[in-house]
Structure formats: C-alpha cells, structure tokens
Structure 1
Amino acid sequence: MSIGTESAKEPLPSTPLRLVTLEVEAHVGADGWDQPARLYALVPTADLVEAEPSLAERLATQLENHPDGFTSIEQELPSDRHLEELLAGITWPETVAGCAAVVERLMLPPEAEDDLPDDPDALVEAVAAHPDRREVRLVAAVTRDGSRHSAVRAREPEDAPLLEGPDLVPGLLDHLFRTLS
C-alpha cells in the first residue's frame, strides 16, 4: 500500500474539514499506538448545539472560533471485523455531514510493491517481513459535498512529521465517501 503525494509547498488552507481531521489525529495520537480502527461522524457544530442545547456551554468556544466547523463523534465498532468490511454496510443519516476514520497500517515504498505476491495471506506475510516497511497511522475525512482531507504519521521516528493533504489515502477516502451517498 502506498500513499499519494502532495507537491504543494504552500500551507494548506484551514478549512473546517482540515481542522477536524487534525483534531481527530491529535486525539487518537494522544492514546498512543497499537489501537483498533476508529470511526467518527462529523456533524456541523452549530447543528449539534441547535439539536442538543445542553451541549452549548461545552461547545461554545469551538462554535465561536469556528462557526462553520465540525464536531467529531466517535462511533463504537465491533472488534471482530475490518474497517473496510464495516464501511461497506454503513449509511449515515442526513444530520451527519461527513465522516472520518483512523487506521494503523504497514506501508511499503512504491518501488517495493512490484515484487509483492498476489495471494492475500502471502501478501500480509511479505509486507510484515519487508525491511523497508513503516508503521503509519492514517486519518481520512470526507464530507457529503466531496471535500476530502487526510493525514499520515509514521510511528518512527518518534517525532515523525504529520503529512497531510486532500488525497494521501485515496482508497480509504473513497470507502468513506460511499457511506455518505
């Protein structure tokens, strides 16, 4: 599995989707590594406060700083199924404007992919044994209007920079978007 690359040198705009993606990444990152997949509904904060006035005080600062922002709401996932399998059966209600997922994966450099076996079991073994494998945390977020943002952080080195952009993990982004249509 490889990730797309972002060639832009300019800073990314601070859109509501980018901000919630970075918030989710920081939240999950604070819990460390070796976590199961996590899934979040993204709800416009203003809509959430309107529907649940009891949350107004807790979300006041967020709403004031980003009136068009999103609040992420973590969903419980069964531990016995892969995220991609779960996503195939998920549809969100109209009140959910988007969704985000976080997964940890092993990744290889693109040049290593040509030599990988086709058999799924052999593929897992080959990736796990490959000397150039890297453990990464992938965060992908999409909205109903098709906006996308993603972030990737390597486990090593400990201070690995966060890579981000609208299309770093296109496959996961596509899976998420299908849950919104």
Structure 2
Amino acid sequence: MTDDQHAEVVLARCVREVVEFADADGWGNPPQMFALVPTADLVAAEPGLLDQLDDGSELTPIAQDAFPDDIAGGSMAMDEFLATTTWPPAVQGCVLVQEIVVLPPDAESDLDEALVPLLADDDAADAAGRAAAHAHPGRRDARLIAGVLRHGTSLCLLQIRPEDDDGFGELDLRTYPNLAPGLVEALHHTLE
C-alpha cells in the first residue's frame, strides 16, 4: 500500500466514525467540526481514554465546540468562519459535517429566476437562494461531510436523508467527482 492509499484509508475511517456519530444524533442539527489528532498523542495526554478509542485507529476525531448560532451549513457565514480558522500543528486533519439542501438538476432555472435581481447584493442573493431551495418541491435534506488531512488527502461524502425518516436504516453515503471542491479547499486552508 502506498502512502497516499494509506492516508485515504485513515481518512475514510475517521470520516465514517464522524458520520456514525452525526447519524446517531439524528437530523436537524447545526454544523459540527472535528479535529483529527494522532491517537497515540491523545492516549499519551489522556491515558483514561484508551478504552474508549477504536483499536488500531491512527487518528481520532475530536468534536469541537459548537459553531456560533449565526453559522448555518453551506452559508456565507460558514465560509467566513472557515477563512479565519486555523489548527495547531498537532491536528493532522479535520472533518466538517453540515446539513444542506440538495435539488434536482432541473431546479437550476428556478434558482436563477430567484437570484438574478439580487446578484449585486451577496447577502440578499444568498438568502434568496436558500429560500428558493427550501421552497422547491424536489428538495431533499442531506448531510455534506468533508474531511481533509494536512498533507492533501481529502474525502467528501453526501448522505441523503431517508424519505421515510427511518432512523435505523442503512447509511446512504454517496460521493461524486469534485463534490464540494470549494469546501475541501477551505478546510485545507485551515491546516496551513
């Protein structure tokens, strides 16, 4: 296994742990950030945690304090917050979980109609876009989970909320080429 492949496996394991944590809390939650720290460093600092950690995990996700109330998933406020966030060298990566609205491809024209008159005002365009997305009949709630490691590895997943709201169903995790590249880039910048 190459170093890049190993990093992908380590990150995927952390992201899966974060997804399971978020899923256990149900839907309707604010965004949450996790620092990825070396498990060995964590155990050295807090030996009492050894029994609570996954065996063999190279990195452990640590939930961070809640975001301020005005920061919603996918918002301009989230972008601004991430632009001012930095991690200490001990943090090897991070994962962000946020609830978003996804729309079918044919919804683009509806959004364009809502936004065109407001393009000169970023805040008004953002608010109008969110309102149009939330009002669209084809909308689906989802979680966007983005994880990055300090040296460049990244993973971005989309979890669509089940329509029947079966809290005990299988996790429906999807990925796509170039899923949320701006978010991945913003998370990488927090580690510089």
TM-score > 0.5 by shorter chain = yes
Root-mean-square deviation (CA, aligned residues, Å) is: 2.2
Q: How is 1:120-159 mapped onto 2 (pairs within 5 angstroms)?
A: 120=125, 121-157=127-163, 158=165, 159=169
Task: Work out the CA distance in 1 between the residues paired with 2:185 and 2:108.
Answer: 21
Match of 2:30 in 1: 36
Bigger relative contact order (CA 8 A; separation at least 6): 1
Q: Which runs of 5+ in 1 are unaligned?
A: 1-12
Q: TM-score, normalization: structure 2? A: 0.76
Match of 2:121 in 1: none
Q: How is 1:86-125 mapped onto 2 (pairs within 5 angstroms)?
A: 86-116=81-111, 117-118=115-116, 119=118, 120=125, 121-125=127-131
Q: Which runs of 5+ in 2 are unaligned?
A: 1-6, 72-76, 119-124
Match of 1:7 in 2: none
Asked if the contact 2:110–2:132 (Cα under 8 Å) also holds between the matched residues in 1, the reply is no
Q: Which has the higher helix share?
A: 2
Task: Work out the CA distance in 2 between the residues paired with 1:71 and 1:58.
Answer: 11
Deviation at 1:52?
Answer: 3.3
Q: TM-score, normalization: structure 1? A: 0.80
Asked if the contact 1:39–1:100 (Cα under 8 Å) also holds between the matched residues in 2, the reply is yes
Aligned pair count reads: 164
Q: How is 1:58-69 mapped onto 2 (pairs within 5 angstroms)?
A: 58-59=52-53, 62=54, 64-66=55-57, 69=58
Match of 1:45 in 2: 39
Aligned match for 1:19, one of 13, 18, 27: 13
What SS class does the counterpart of residue 11 from structure 2 fall into?
helix
